[in-house]
Amino acid sequence: VLISVRTWNDDTKNHLKTFNLQKWMLSIGFTLVVWAVSAYLIGQFTNDPRPVYDGMAFAISLTGGIVCFL
């Protein structure tokens, strides 16, 4: 996104995604639920010494991917 800023035209700013309070709460709640579930599953089914951090990375990546795709 930062590299393409120079190529933005006047209409690009009208198509940027914005979040209101409801969307922020939904995405934060979704991230926390995915974090808890993935940390638990990683801890149960792998030999990972830090499942909480890996679960957090997965949850943030998944939420970011969904937000960018939609």
Segment 28-48, tens digit of pLDDT: 999 999 999 999 999 999 999
Q: Domain total for the chain?
A: 1
| Statement: residue 2 has pLDDT above 60 | no
**Does 10 reside within a domain?**
no
**Does 7 reside within a domain?**
no
For 44, the domain range is: 19-69
Element (H, E) at 34: helix 21-45
**Does 3 reside within a domain?**
no
**Does 61 reside within a domain?**
yes
Q: How far apart are CA 52 and CA 34, in angstroms?
A: 11
Mean pLDDT of the residues in the chain: 87
